[in-house]
Structure 1
Amino acid sequence: MLALRRTVALAPGEGRLASQLALVMLATSAGAAVGAAATEGLLFANFDLALLPLLYVALGLVTFVLTLVASGLLAGADRARIYVALPVVLAAVVVVERVAALTRSGWIYAAMWLLMNVVTTLQGIGAWGLAGAVLDVRQSKRLFPLLNAAKIAGAVAGSLAVAIVVRLVAVEDLLLAWSLGLVVNAVVSYALRKRVPRAVDAAASEGLIADMRRGFAIVRGSALLRILAVALVFFSVLYFSLALPFSRAAREAYPDAAALASFLGLFNGATTVIALLVSLFAANRLYARIGVVNSIIAFAGVYLVGFLAIAASATFAVLVAARFVQTVWLSGVADTAYQALFSPVPPERRDQIRAFMEGVPGQAGIALAGVALLVGESLDPRAVAIAAAAASAVLVWLLFRARSAYGRALADALRAGRPQPFGFEADPFGALRTDAHALAVTLSGLRDDDPAVRRVSAEILRQLALPAPADALRAALDDSDEDVRRSAVKALAGLGQADVLERFANDADPEIRVSVAAARGLDALVAIAADPDPAARRAVADVVAGRADAGVALVSLLTDADASVRRAAADTLPRTPLAPAR
C-alpha cells in the first residue's frame, strides 16, 4: 500500500476515497465502451447511413438542451441526491434501450445512438462532478491523474472485452453491462453522499446559460478565444465528415452486427491504448519542442492529409488508417494541448469560457456537420473529401493566426502577475509540463524592465524545474531584485547546480542558505537543520518534503525547541516516506 501511495501521491487516509472514485471511473468508462460498440454496431448494421447526418444535427441540439438541464440540477443546493439519482436514471434509460432493441427498428437504433451519446456525456458530468465535490483543491490536483487513469483503463478493458463477449451473448445484451457500471456509480455515490457539501447559495446560481453569456462576453474581447471558437466549429465539422465515411466502410466490411461490434471494440481499444502511450511518452516532448499551438496545427494537418488520401483512394484500409491517426492524435496530443490554450484566461473565468465553447461553437459545429453532410449526399464522395480537405487547409491557416494570439495572451498573463498558464497543473498525466511558446515568453519575461514581471518569470522557472533555462537563471543571480535572486537560487538548487551557488552559502536570507544546502547534499542539509535561526530550520522542513533521505534531517526538527519548527516538521511529515502506511 505504501508503494501505491507513493506512485499515485496518496496522502494518509485517502486510500478508501480514492479507490471508491477510481471504481466509479473504471466501471462507467468500461460500461460506456461496451455500450458504445454495441450501439454503433447495431446502428451501422440496421440503419440507412445516408440519414446519419440527420442524427448529427439532432445530436448537437439534444446534447445542448440536456447539458443545460444537468447543469441547472447540479447548481442546486442538494447535489448529493443528484449524484445518486443521475446514474440510476441513466441505468434505467440503458435498460429501456435494451428492451426497445427487441423491435429491431432502424429508427429505434437511431434513437439508441442519440441516447448513447447523451448518457456518455451526462455520466461524465456526474462522475467528475462527484469527484470535484468530495475532493478539495489539493486532493483534486493529486488524485485526478489516478481517476483519469482508471477511466482510460476502463475504456480499454471494455473495448477489448467486446470482441470476446459478443461471441457469447447477443449484441443488444451488451447494453446490460453498461447499466451495471452505472449501478456501481450510483452505489458509490450513495456511500459518498454525506461528503458532498451543500451549495452555499443555490438561489444565486445562474446555471449554464449565464455562464455562456459571460463566456461570450469574454470570448468577444479576446483575439485568441475568437479564433478558437471558430476553429472549434471547423474541428466538429471535420470530425463527423470523417466519421461518416468510416461508418459506411465499416458496415460494408462487417455487415453482421456482432462482427461489426467486435471490430469497433477492437478498434476503439487499440486507439485508446496507443493514445495513452503517446500522451505519456511522446506528447510532452512534442509540446516542449514545437509548442501546444503547433501540436494543434499538426492535428489540422492530420485531417488535411487524411482527406487528401481519401480523395485519392477511399478504400476501407485508407479510411481505417485516417480514422486511427485522427483518433490517436486527438486523444493523445490535441485534447490536452487544446485545454492548455485556455490557460491565459484567469482561473475564475475558465468555467464560463469552457461552458460557452462546449455549449455554443461545439454543438453548433456538430449540427453544421450534419447539414453539410446532408447537402453533400448528392455529391460524389471524392468531391466531399476534397471539400473537407479544403476546410482543413482553412483551419490550418486559422490556427497559424492563433499562434501569435496565444503568444500575446501569455505575455499579458505574465505582465498581470498570473503564473497559472505556465505550470499546467490540471494536465491529468503531467504530459504538458511545459510548452515551447510558454517557455519562450517566460525567458523573455526574465529580462523584462519591470521587476514584477521578472519575479513572476523566475518563480515560474523555479516551479518548472527544467534544465533548459539554467543559463538564464544563472544570469538572474545578479538581478537587482531580491525576490528574483531568491527564485533563481531555488531553481538552480533544484537542478543540483551547487557550484554556481557557493557564493550564497552564507547569505543573510535563510531560505537561500537552505536552498544552497539542499543543492550540496544531505550532509549540508543536516548541518543547516541545526542552524540557530528558527526560520532556517523551518525552511529545512519544507525543503525535505518528497526527498528519499528526508528522515535524517526531519527527525531532529520534530523535537525542535521552537514550536513553529515542530509544526513545520509535522506538516511536512505526511509528504515524506516517513509517513505511516494506511
Structure 2
Amino acid sequence: MLKKLFSINPGEGSPTLILFIHFFAYVAISVTGSAARDAYFLNMVDRKYLPLMYLAVAVVLTLVIAIYNRLSKNRDLTLIVTISSLVFALSLLAIQNHLEGWVIPFLYIWKDVIDAITIIQFWLLANEVFDPRQAKRLFGLLGAGGALAAIIVGSSIKQFVSIFGSENLLFITIGFLGIVILMANLIRPYRNVNKLQNQTRKKNEQKKSEKTFTPYLKSLAIIIGLAAITSRIVDYQFKIIAVAAFPLQDDLVNFFGQYYAVTGIATIVIQLFVTSKLLSRFGILVAILILPVFLMLGSFGFFITPILATVYISKFSDQVFKFTLHNSSIQLLWIPVKNTIKTRLKPIVEGSIRAGLEGLSGVLIFIAVTVFNIPIHYLSLSIVLIAIYWINKSFPLKKLYVDALQSAIEKRQLNFEELTLDIQDQTMVNTIETALNNADESQQIFALDIIKDIPLTPWKQSLNRLLDKGHVTVKKEILNISFNDDIIDDQRIINLIETDKELDIDAIAIAGKRGLNNAVTAINKHLEDPEIEKRIIAAAALNTIDPDSSNIAKKLLIDALQSTDEKLISVAINQLSFDNQILPDDTLIHYLNDSSFVIRNAALLVAETRRAPEFLPVIIHSLADSRSAIPARTALTAYNEQDVINILIQY
C-alpha cells in the first residue's frame, strides 16, 4: 500500500528506505548539532563575535570542500562516507569532552563543515542509485524524510535535555553519524557507480570556452546572492533575540528544538501540497516573490516591534520558503542553461559567490553593531531595502527566463536531468506547448524527448491531438512515453490495437505494461497475424497480463526462443525481460554466450535489466566482440563497480 501511495516501483523499496533513513539521519545531525552549537556559542562566547563566525564558516567551508574534493576523487564513495563520518564522530566526541574556550567557536564552524560534506555525500549516493526518472518520483519522498526528522528530533530535544542536560546533546549527533555510516554501507549493492562516472567524464570532455555570465545568469546570481545576504542578517537577529529571551542554556536549546520541529511541519506541508500546485498555476514569478515578500513583512514588523515573535516570522519564512518554493524555483531557473555552462558556473554561483556574500554579510553586521553601535532591529531596514530590490529584479528575470527557455528549445539544449522533483511552472508548460504545436516534426520529437521524464499531465490535450493527427514517428514516441493511463486512456489503447496497423504493436506493448484485461480479446486476434514479430509481441503482452490464461501465447514464445531464426529469438528475448519462467537466468546465460551477436545483444539488454551477479563473467566476455562491446559496456554500468573490477581481475 505504501509503495503504491508513494509511486515506488518493484525493486525500489529497499534503496528508497535506506536513503530515507540516511536523509533522516542527516537532518537529525543538522538539527541537534545546530541547536547545541548555537546554544553553546551564545551562552559561552561574547555574542558580538557571532557575525565573524559567518565569515569564518564561509572561508573554512570553501577550503575544506576543495581539500575534500581532491582527496575523495576517484575513491569509493561508501568508503569516503565511512571514513569522514568516523572522523566527524570522533571529533565531536573530543569536543563534547572539552566544551570550553576556543573549542566552542571551532564547533560553530566545524558543525557547518559536517553538514556540508554529509549532504554532498548523500546526494552523490542518491544519484548513483536512482536515474533521473526515478529521482523525480522518489526524491520528494526522501525530502519528506528530512522534514520528518526535523519534526521528531526537534520536538524530542526538550525531553532529552530535561533528562541528560543540554551539555550532552552532541551525543545524539554522534549517534546519527553512526546511522549515516550504516546506511552508506547498506546502499552499496544498489549503487550504479559507472553511470555517474560516465556522466561526469562526459561533462568534463564537453567543457568549452563558455565562461562569461549572460544577463540571465547575472540576474539569477543576484537573486541567489540576495537570498544568502538576507538569510545571514535574519539568522543573526533571531539568535541574539532568542538568547536574550532564553538566557539559560537548557531553555535556549529547547527553544531551538521546538523551532526546528515547527519549521519541519511547515516544510513538509508546503513541499508536498503547495510547491508544485503554486508553480503550475501561478508560475515561477509568484514562487520567486514569496520569500522576499515575507522577509520584508517580518523585518518591517521586527523594526517596529523588536521582539522574538516578530523576528520569528522572518526566520520562519527564511527557513521554510527558502528550502521549498525558493529552491524549487532556482532549480527551474537553471533548466534553460546549457549543460557545459551550468557545470562550470553553478558551483561558482551557489558555492563560491554565495559563501563569499555570507561571509561579507557577517563582516558588515559586525561593523554595524560593534563599531557603529547600530541597534539590532535597525538591521531590518537593510532587509526591507534588499527585499524591494529583490522583488524589482525578479520581474526582468522572469522575462529572461522565458527567452532562455525558448532559445534552449530552439537549440535543443533543454533538459530536466538535474531537476530532482516533479515540478513545472506555467511558463515552461506554455513554451513546451508551443514546440508541440509546431509544424516541424523534429521540434515535436525534441519536445517529447525533454518531457519524457516528468509528469505529462499539462500537455495531455496536445499529446492526444498529435496521436490523432501527427506523423507516425511522433505518434510512436507519444505512446513510448505515455504508458501511464493518465495521458492516453485504456480504451484508446484498445482501439489502436484493433484498428491502427501502424501503431498496433506499440499499443499491444503498452497494454501488456498496464495489464489491461479488457484488451485481451483484441490482442488475441494478433496471435494469428501474418507477421510473426507481431504474434510474439502479442503473446508476450498476454503472458504479462495473465500468465495462466493462454497456453497458445506461451507456446508461441517458447517456439520463438527455440527457433533457428536469430531475429525471432532476439524479439522474444526482448519481450521477456521480466519473465523468469519462460526465460530463466540460466537460459539467458546461454543466449549471452550465443555465437550470433544479434541474439547476444538482445540478451545483454535483458541482463542489464535483471542485474544478476552470475551474468557478469559472460557480459565481460562479450566485450571482446566489437559487435557486442557497446551493449556489454552499457550492461556493466548497471552493476556495482567493485563487483565488475573483481571479475575483471580474474581475466
Q: TM-score when scaled to structure 1? A: 0.82
Residue number in structure 1 paired with 2:605: none
Q: Secondary structure of 1:76's match?
A: coil
The code of the aligned residue for 2:299 comes to F
- Distance in 1 of aligned mates of 2:542 and 2:58: 52
The code of the aligned residue for 1:240 comes to R
Map Cα deviations across residues 332-380 of structure 1 (whole Å, 9 max, x no partner): 3221221222222345664444322232211112112112212332234
- Distance in 2 of aligned mates of 1:358 and 1:375: 26
Equivalent of residue 24 in structure 1, options 22, 25, 34: 22
Map Cα deviations across residues 374-419 of structure 1 (whole Å, 9 max, x no partner): 2332234454212221111111122222212211222222223356
Report the alpha carbon displacement of residue 456 of structure 1 after superposing the two structures with TM.
Answer: 2.5
Report the alpha carbon displacement of residue 20 of structure 1 after superposing the two structures with TM.
Answer: 4.0
Report the alpha carbon displacement of residue 137 of structure 1 after superposing the two structures with TM.
Answer: 6.4
Residue number in structure 1 paired with 2:584: none
Equivalent of residue 481 in structure 1, options 456, 471, 474: 471
Within 5 Å, give how 1:139-538 maps onto structure 2.
144-190=139-185, 218=210, 220-347=212-339, 350-377=342-369, 378=372, 379-418=374-413, 420-421=415-416, 426-427=420-421, 430=422, 432=423, 434-458=424-448, 466-477=456-467, 479=469, 481-487=471-477, 494-496=486-488, 506-509=499-502, 510-511=504-505, 513-514=507-508, 522-524=517-519, 526-528=521-523, 530-531=525-526, 532=529, 533=531
Map Cα deviations across residues 70-117 of structure 1 (whole Å, 9 max, x no partner): 11122134544322211000111211221221x3x4x53222111111
Larger RCO of the pair (alpha carbons < 8 Å, separation 6+):
1
Residue number in structure 2 paired with 1:577: none
Are the structure 2 counterparts of residues 536 and 261 from structure 1 closer, same or farther at C-alpha, using a change threshold of 3 Å? farther
- Distance in 2 of aligned mates of 1:515 and 1:314: 65
CA RMSD in angstroms, aligned pairs only: 4.0
The code of the aligned residue for 1:174 comes to L
Report the alpha carbon displacement of residue 201 of structure 1 after superposing the two structures with TM.
Answer: 13
Report the alpha carbon displacement of residue 23 of structure 1 after superposing the two structures with TM.
Answer: 3.5
On the 8 A contact 1:30/1:178 being kept in 2, the answer is yes
Report the alpha carbon displacement of residue 124 of structure 1 after superposing the two structures with TM.
Answer: 1.6
What's the % identity of the aligned pairs? 18
Equivalent of residue 123 in structure 1, options 89, 103, 118: 118
Residue number in structure 2 paired with 1:63: 61
Residue number in structure 1 paired with 2:577: 571
On the 8 A contact 1:141/1:425 being kept in 2, the answer is yes
Report the alpha carbon displacement of residue 68 of structure 1 after superposing the two structures with TM.
Answer: 0.9
Map Cα deviations across residues 450-503 of structure 1 (whole Å, 9 max, x no partner): 321122234556765555544434543565633334455775974355788898
Within 5 Å, give how 1:109-120 maps onto structure 2.
109-120=104-115
Q: TM-score when scaled to structure 2? A: 0.74
On the 8 A contact 1:511/1:536 being kept in 2, the answer is yes
The code of the aligned residue for 1:337 comes to S
Q: Secondary structure of 2:327's match?
A: helix
- Distance in 2 of aligned mates of 1:530 and 1:192: 46
Residue number in structure 2 paired with 1:84: 82
Map Cα deviations across residues 293-349 of structure 1 (whole Å, 9 max, x no partner): 431222222222222222232222111122212322122322122122222234566
- Distance in 1 of aligned mates of 2:357 and 2:507: 56
Residue number in structure 1 paired with 2:72: 74
Question: Which stretch has the larger CA shift, 177-186 or 71-80?
Answer: 71-80
- Distance in 2 of aligned mates of 1:86 and 1:538: 53
- Distance in 1 of aligned mates of 2:16 and 2:83: 21
Report the alpha carbon displacement of residue 175 of structure 1 after superposing the two structures with TM.
Answer: 0.1
Map Cα deviations across residues 5-44 of structure 1 (whole Å, 9 max, x no partner): 5455556566555444443333333233222212212222
Are the structure 2 counterparts of residues 443 and 15 from structure 1 closer, same or farther at C-alpha, using a change threshold of 3 Å? closer
Q: Secondary structure of 1:183's match?
A: helix
Are the structure 2 counterparts of residues 358 and 452 from structure 1 closer, same or farther at C-alpha, using a change threshold of 3 Å? same
Question: Which stretch has the larger CA shift, 178-187 or 373-382?
Answer: 373-382
- Distance in 1 of aligned mates of 2:452 and 2:26: 39
- Distance in 2 of aligned mates of 1:273 and 1:369: 29
On the 8 A contact 1:97/1:112 being kept in 2, the answer is yes
Q: Secondary structure of 1:52's match?
A: helix
- Distance in 2 of aligned mates of 1:426 and 1:298: 21
Structure 2 segments unaligned to the other structure (5+ residues): 561-568, 581-609, 611-651
On the 8 A contact 2:300/2:380 being kept in 1, the answer is yes
On the 8 A contact 1:489/1:501 being kept in 2, the answer is no
On the 8 A contact 2:237/2:377 being kept in 1, the answer is no
Aligned residues: 557
Map Cα deviations across residues 528-566 of structure 1 (whole Å, 9 max, x no partner): 255235665677799999x9x776899976654344564
Q: Secondary structure of 2:164's match?
A: coil
Question: Which stretch has the larger CA shift, 289-298 or 239-248?
Answer: 289-298
Q: Secondary structure of 2:57's match?
A: helix
- Distance in 2 of aligned mates of 1:540 and 1:308: 68
Q: Secondary structure of 1:407's match?
A: helix
- Distance in 1 of aligned mates of 2:414 and 2:533: 26
Equivalent of residue 33 in structure 1, options 28, 31, 34: 31
Question: Which stretch has the larger CA shift, 235-244 or 470-479?
Answer: 470-479
On the 8 A contact 1:507/1:513 being kept in 2, the answer is no
Q: Secondary structure of 2:162's match?
A: coil
On the 8 A contact 2:26/2:180 being kept in 1, the answer is yes
The code of the aligned residue for 1:437 comes to T
- Distance in 2 of aligned mates of 1:160 and 1:373: 31
Q: Secondary structure of 2:499's match?
A: coil
The code of the aligned residue for 1:298 comes to I
The code of the aligned residue for 2:314 comes to A
Are the structure 2 counterparts of residues 80 and 503 from structure 1 closer, same or farther at C-alpha, using a change threshold of 3 Å? closer
Report the alpha carbon displacement of residue 156 of structure 1 after superposing the two structures with TM.
Answer: 2.6
Report the alpha carbon displacement of residue 229 of structure 1 after superposing the two structures with TM.
Answer: 1.5
Are the structure 2 counterparts of residues 484 and 14 from structure 1 closer, same or farther at C-alpha, using a change threshold of 3 Å? closer
Within 5 Å, give how 1:550-569 maps onto structure 2.
560-561=556-557, 562=560, 563-564=569-570, 566-569=572-575
The code of the aligned residue for 2:47 comes to L
On the 8 A contact 1:291/1:435 being kept in 2, the answer is yes
On the 8 A contact 2:155/2:261 being kept in 1, the answer is yes
Report the alpha carbon displacement of residue 527 of structure 1 after superposing the two structures with TM.
Answer: 2.0
- Distance in 2 of aligned mates of 1:465 and 1:16: 24
Map Cα deviations across residues 427-466 of structure 1 (whole Å, 9 max, x no partner): 1xx3x1x221110101111233432112223455676555
Report the alpha carbon displacement of residue 265 of structure 1 after superposing the two structures with TM.
Answer: 0.5
The code of the aligned residue for 1:457 comes to A
Larger Rg: 2
Q: Secondary structure of 1:227's match?
A: helix
Question: Which stretch has the larger CA shift, 226-235 or 87-96?
Answer: 226-235
- Distance in 1 of aligned mates of 2:61 and 2:142: 25
On the 8 A contact 2:147/2:267 being kept in 1, the answer is no
